Chains A and B, each alone.
Chain A
């Protein structure tokens, strides 16, 4: 059974800092891994999808890496802004069904 852990659970940083969010998963037989953002009371917004054959994906100030063999992914946020404040969720996609299994998320607060 796939289990996903995200560390840290919460993070508070001053504006402008670079930061790293960590995600680990127990079953390396995944197809993709996706990072999402969730604002309070809202749905999930897709940030990045890393295919199993890739090691990295970039979108603007976001960079996500994937190491399937060690069961780890990281989300790097450069030059953080108050608007980045949200909960960040990682979710490996498993098997032919494409099921996503979620971690508990990292809640980020960026202070002006």
Chain B
């Protein structure tokens, strides 16, 4: 039982390059989230998907796009990476829908944009 799996774990990009961060969960959860974590800023929500087929902006969506491919997978895309997007990215899941379930996190992707 893998829980929440993120790929890749580490990535270095040049400014202007694009990439997609992948997240897959095997917990049969409805809701999935992308956060970024920066020193002194805490964890901030980028985008979320309350259920399959829906996505919504979080607190810091600029420069990102997402795709909820199916119930299991939620990807985050950087179309033109900028140094300000250097961060640690976490994917999370929970049941959502007002249900009282725990949220679980992946191990993170450390992204450096040079």
Contact = CB atoms under 8 A, between A and B. Distances in A.
B104 interface: yes
Contacts of B40: 104
A105 B42 contact: yes
A81 to B, nearest CB: 23
Interface string B98-109: 111111111110
B94 interface: yes
Interface string B8-33: 00000000000000000000000101
B96 A96 contact: yes
Nearest to A98: B96
The interface size bin for chain B is 20 to 34
A34 B105 CA distance: 12
A19 interface: no
Contact of A42 (B42, B96, B107): B107
Contacts, number: 71
B105 A44 contact: yes
A100 B91 CA distance: 12
A98 B104 contact: no
A100 to B, nearest CB: 6
B79 interface: no
A96 B98 contact: yes
A97 B42 contact: no
B114 interface: no
A98 B102 contact: no
A98 B105 contact: no
A43 B48 contact: no
A97 B103 contact: no
B112 to A, nearest CB: 14
A110 interface: no
Contact of A46 (B44, B56, B103): B103
B43 A98 contact: no
Interface of A: 31-32, 34, 36, 42-46, 49, 51-52, 89, 91, 93, 95-105
Sort A-B residue pairs by CB-CB distance and give the 3 closest, nearest first: A98-B96, A102-B43, A44-B105
